[in-house]
Amino acid sequence: QVQLVESGGGLVQAGGSLRLSCAASGRTFGINVMGWYRQAPGKQRERVASIAPGGVTNYVDSVTGRLTISRDNAKNTVYLQMDSLKPKDKAVYYCNAERMGGIYWGHGTQVTVSS
């Protein structure tokens, strides 16, 4: 099993920044793609960004240029640098990891952006 723990969420004003972290523990050998998803109130969970072990990244169009995903494979940690935040970015952000056919989720961290 893989355990994922997110941190770094909070309240920020529009235009501000936050940095989310997600640390993986347990059976971390063989973790493949890691990513960030978010779920706003009343909406479905959506993929925000993902990153492969070699560093190839993918973003949803609405965050391109504002959010940056990165990972430290030695620390089994993935990050999401969030800049120029907007009220529409308010959501619970979840970390996700794929390992040997299994999909693992963290419990989420709340991000609130005030206008």
**Which pLDDT value is given to residue 20?**
98
**Which pLDDT value is given to residue 78?**
98
Within 10 angstroms of residue 81's Cβ, the number of other Cβ atoms is 14
**Which pLDDT value is given to residue 30?**
93
**Which pLDDT value is given to residue 38?**
98
Three-class SS of 70-92: EEECCCCEEEEEECCCCHHHCEE
pLDDT in tens, 64-102: 999 999 999 999 999 999 999 999 999 999 999 999 999
Mean residue pLDDT of the chain comes to 97
Query: Cα–Cα distance between 91 and 77 in angstroms, integer?
Result: 21
**Which pLDDT value is given to residue 77?**
97
Average pLDDT over residues 56-70: 96
Rg (CA), the chain: 13
